[in-house]
Amino acid sequence: MPFKQLLKVDGRRKALSFLVASAVMWSFGGLFIKYIQWNPMAIAGMRGLIAALAVALAVPESVRLPPNRFIWLCAFAYAGMCGTLVVATKLTTAANAIFLQYTAPVYVMLISAFFFREKIKFPDAMVILSTVLGMALFFVGEFSFASIAGNLIGISSGVCFAVMVTGFRFVKGAEPAVAIFCGNIILFLLSAPFMRAPIPGTGDWLALLFLGVFQIGISYAMYSRAIVRVKPLEGVIIPTIEPVLNPLWVFFFIGERPPNAAIAGGAIVITAITVYCLRKN
């Protein structure tokens, strides 16, 4: 059976299963990024190259459609989101990195208010304040430069995520896949100078293959096909499987446990964002 046929969505039940599978595959990012012994930018770039090939195979349109300015905007934002998340995961805990990335809806609200004159209502302001409080808890008890820098870079990953999501408002059809393909190539080119010795071992290369093929490539192909066939509420809630499972895999297999303050902050962030998305749907 052709690879494209395997990713064909022919019903809502299959779309939901694709959505769950995508979120689960995303959740393994923290574990394998922690495992691989290489420069974080090199990890991000090599994962991007492998993912670009996977996306091209899964969604052939991604290499056929010419990019426009909005696709380029989304592509560069995507590259920034993925690159900063990998660096943040290496510098701070996996929980901090992924929870801070999931503050993106707050930045989407702020971007929409500033550029599109969309009013921030009182409930939106409460979500923003709650998220800021949750973010502040990630810095409680953090005294090392690496951890603080990792948290700040994690915040920047959320900002890039928000820019990408906002840019997707102006693309349609297979264009999001074009942006993902181009973004992975951009990330590889930007990361190429960091791909120097020591060269990863066999286990590291296997982890990189998993990250590129499944955690990014196939998962995004599945997500792009599933998201148009599910209810908006399902498209919002199901992906929150990722920030829940991500730190759990790292804890079970590597033993990294985030501080209690960070756990509380993550709970506040995810709750605030979920309530916001529920209200919007």
pLDDT along the chain (281 residues), means of 10: 56 82 94 95 96 90 85 94 96 93 88 86 86 89 83 95 87 82 96 87 95 92 76 73 92 92 90 78 60
Beta-carbon contacts of residue 271 (< 8 Å; ≥ 6 apart) = 130
Say how far apart CA 94 and CA 97 lie, in whole Å: 5
Query: What pTM was estimated for this model as a whole?
Result: 0.90
153 close to 84: Cβ distance less than 8 angstroms: yes
Q: So what's the pLDDT on residue 92?
A: 94
Contact (Cβ atoms closer than 8 angstroms) between residue 157 and residue 85: yes
Residue 194 makes CB contacts below 8 A (sequence gap 6+) with 39, 41, 42, 45
**Is 43 domain-assigned?**
yes
Residues constituting the chain: 281
Q: Residue 249, SS3?
A: helix
Q: Would residue 136 count as lying in a domain?
A: no
Domain-embedded: residue 20: yes
* Residue that has been written with the tokens 């510098």 in this structure: 91
- Whether 139 is in a domain gets the answer no
Who's near 95: CB < 8 A, 6+ residues apart?
30, 246, 247, 250, 258, 262, 263, 266
**pLDDT at position 112:** 86
Q: Is residue 126 part of a domain?
A: no
Report the domain count for the chain.
1
Give the model's pLDDT for residue 1: 45
**Range of 85's domain?**
10-91+144-254
- Tell me the C-alpha distance between 154 and 152, whole Å: 5
Of 133, 135, 128, give the one whose Cα is nearest residue 113: 128
123 within a domain of the structure (yes/no): no
Answer for the pair 239, 19: CB distance below 8 angstroms, yes or no. Answer: yes
Q: Which of 79, 106, 123, 94 is nearest to 33 (CA)?
A: 94
pLDDT of residue 184: 96
Confirm whether 104 is domain-assigned. no
Would 80 be classed as within a structural domain?
yes
Vertex 243, ends 47 and 75: CA angle to 5°?
Answer: 40
